[in-house]
Amino acid sequence: MASKQILLNAFNMNCVGHINHGLWTHPRDHSTEYNTIEYWTDQARTLERGLFDGFFLADIVGVYDVYGANVDITLRESIQLPVNDPLLLVSAMAAVTRHLGFGVTVNLSYDAPYLLARRFSTLDHLTRGRIGWNIVTGYLDSAARAMGLDEQLAHDERYERADEYMEVLYKLWEGSWEDDAVKRDKASRVFADPRKVHKVQHDGRYYKVDGYHLAEPSLQRTPVLFQAGSSGRGQRFAARHAECVFISPPNREIARKTVTALREQLVHAGRRPDDVKVFMGTAVVTGKTETIAREKYADYLSYASREAGLAHFAASTGVDFARHGLDDAVDYGKGNAIESATKTAEQQGWTRRKLLELFELGGRYPAIVGDPGQVADELQSWISETGIDGFNLSRTVVPESYEDFVDLIVPELQNRGVYKTSYSEGTLREKLFAEGDRLPDRHAGAQFRR
């Protein structure tokens, strides 16, 4: 029986401080150059050299203003502020790569579906089918206020609106243009057959659309659909729409339970349990020997900011930990931010002191530290014990964290037969699932095809 092949995304964001906060101060770190094209194209080349499946780009709309009820530490430590638009990076990185996929986060709460559909179709054309969309509904009240609202919708209602948003997009991507609508016939002066291009008419609770999709069909039509909700309502949304799900569990047991529940939801939704690839967030610090890796990790710790990590987590839960003593019991309550993050913190009984311990590398993802053999052992262990399919590898010190992984860990995984030695041809969806470029017939979006 062949070993399960590990999938890998690099996890980054168009900003200075993403997950492992404070490391921008390390003398070898280049993340302050996030606003240059070369910073991104160099990383894309490195990832393609390492045969990474994708470059997963996070994003937020709004700022982290929960901790201390201000943005002071957010600005001092550049905790995802400033943050630039991730979509605009893709064309440059696609131009210097041939196979690397791109999963880009866009918050649907503040974008009209009609225009978002065109942006992703455009990128699917320009990348020759390598684009994916990480669907988020948002969780920051600061974003709602910045967009002219008093507050954001309640957690579950955000998903109700998102379900309708997806229906509009499927109608545009899958149903507006038939497969043979585009003729490109110069002799007959027919670019597209009017009989095969259809107006989308949608009149729903949240959205109203009366128009034609502005883009002709791209290779994938619908981008590969990523989603990161682990709450009950988030998992139901994922079971209907997602093709890749991103989780950030604190331990193996919670990871296994999350994956099992998701796969059960998929079956209830009429899909196969393996119709979704599950990626777990992690950080890796490695070296040629264990001693070198441990020394590097200790070096990183001296620059990391635990408090910045806590400020980030405060926004995720809606809890101002600055108001709590180190060992005070925390009343997590019923917030309106990331429900799964709040639930986990409450179940684990995390105090401010415990959280600061967890965030020693400046972020909430477990760090795997060791030589190539030790790191590979740990990665394989997570795969076999939890049922995940791969990892979203967060950056630590840029660019060396990705370079170290490509130069040291990738060959070790290849030698063990658990990582590809070359890219397969085709779109991002075909590479991930080997079932073609388009959504499978059992996916909810397929019902909107002509």
- Render pLDDT for 222-243 as a digit per residue (tens, 0 to 9): 999 999 877 788 899 999 999 9
Query: What CA–CA distances, in Å, run from 206 to 35, 225, 421?
Result: 36, 21, 47
pLDDT at 336: 67
When pLDDT is cut at 50, 70 and 90, the band that residue 337 belongs to is: low
Rounded to whole angstroms, the Cα distance separating 188 from 178 reads 19
**Closest by CA position to 132, among listed 215, 204, 224:** 224
The CATH number of the domain holding residue 235 is 3.20.20.30
Counting every residue written for the chain, the total comes to: 450
* pLDDT one-digit tens code per residue, 343-377: 778 877 889 988 998 899 998 888 999 999 999 99
The structure tokens listed for 81 are 């502020």
**Domain range for 167:** 7-299+367-442
Rounded to whole angstroms, the Cα distance separating 82 from 155 reads 26
* pLDDT one-digit tens code per residue, 403-429: 999 999 999 999 999 999 999 999 999
pLDDT at 371: 98
pLDDT at 338: 67
Tell me whether residue 353 is in a domain. Answer: no
Looking from the CA of 137 toward its CB, the CA atoms found within 13 Å total 25
CA dihedral 168, 169, 172, 173 (to 10 degrees): -150
**Closest by CA position to 178, among listed 194, 166, 163, 155:** 194
Rounded to whole angstroms, the Cα distance separating 333 from 343 reads 9
The structure tokens listed for 63 are 């700022």
pLDDT at 366: 82
The structure tokens listed for 274 are 């393996």
Rounded to whole angstroms, the Cα distance separating 257 from 262 reads 9
Q: What secondary structure does DSSP assign to 252-267, as a single string?
A: HHHHHHHHHHHHHHHH
* pLDDT one-digit tens code per residue, 243-265: 999 999 989 999 999 999 999 99
Is there a contact between 423 and 430 (Cβ–Cβ < 8 Å)?
no
For the chain, the domain total comes to 1
Reduce the secondary structure of 115-178 to three states and give it as a string.
Answer: HHHHHHHHHHHHCCCCEEEEEECCCCHHHHHHCCCCCCCCHHHHHHHHHHHHHHHHHHHHHCEC
Is there a contact between 229 and 238 (Cβ–Cβ < 8 Å)?
yes
Rounded to whole angstroms, the Cα distance separating 374 from 301 reads 20
**pLDDT, average across residues 189-213:** 98
Q: What is the pTM of this model?
A: 0.95
Rounded to whole angstroms, the Cα distance separating 409 from 214 reads 44
**Closest by CA position to 228, among listed 216, 218, 217, 241:** 241
pLDDT at 215: 98
| Percentage of the chain modeled with pLDDT above 90 | 84
Higher pLDDT, 389 or 233: 389
The structure tokens listed for 405 are 């992984």
Tell me whether residue 122 is in a domain. Answer: yes
Tell me whether residue 249 is in a domain. Answer: yes
User: Considering only 48-52, 139-143, 213-217, which range has the smallest mean pLDDT?
Assistant: 139-143
pLDDT at 345: 83
Average pLDDT for the chain: 95
Rounded to whole angstroms, the Cα distance separating 241 from 416 reads 34
**Closest by CA position to 24, among listed 37, 35, 8:** 35
Q: What angle do CA 426, 264, 444 make, to 5 degrees?
A: 50
Would you say residue 169 has pLDDT above 60?
Answer: yes
Query: What CA–CA distances, in Å, run from 47 to 103, 355, 399?
Result: 14, 32, 11
> Residue 31 phi/psi, 5° resolution?
-70, -15
Burial class (CB within 10 angstroms; exposed 0-12, middle 13-18, buried 19+) of 147: middle
Tell me whether residue 359 is in a domain. Answer: no
Tell me whether residue 330 is in a domain. Answer: no
Tell me whether residue 145 is in a domain. Answer: yes
Give the count of beta carbons closer than 10 Å to the beta carbon of residue 193.
Answer: 14
* Sign of torsion over alpha carbons 131, 172, 62, 38: positive
CA dihedral 385, 52, 399, 278 (to 10 degrees): -40
**pLDDT, average across residues 169-176:** 98
Is there a contact between 362 and 178 (Cβ–Cβ < 8 Å)?
no
When pLDDT is cut at 50, 70 and 90, the band that residue 205 belongs to is: very high
Tell me whether residue 382 is in a domain. Answer: yes
Q: Is 148 left (phi over 0), alpha (psi -120 to 50) or beta?
A: left
pLDDT at 2: 66
Is there a contact between 448 and 171 (Cβ–Cβ < 8 Å)?
yes
The three-state secondary structure class of 223 is coil
Rounded to whole angstroms, the Cα distance separating 385 from 404 reads 25
Rounded to whole angstroms, the Cα distance separating 40 from 44 reads 6
Q: At what angle do helices 339-348 and 232-241 cross, to 10 degrees?
A: 140
Would you say residue 1 has pLDDT above 70?
Answer: no
The structure tokens listed for 179 are 């497969």
Tell me whether residue 402 is in a domain. Answer: yes
For residue 146, which amino acid is it?
A
* pLDDT one-digit tens code per residue, 15-53: 999 999 999 999 999 999 999 999 999 999 999 999 999
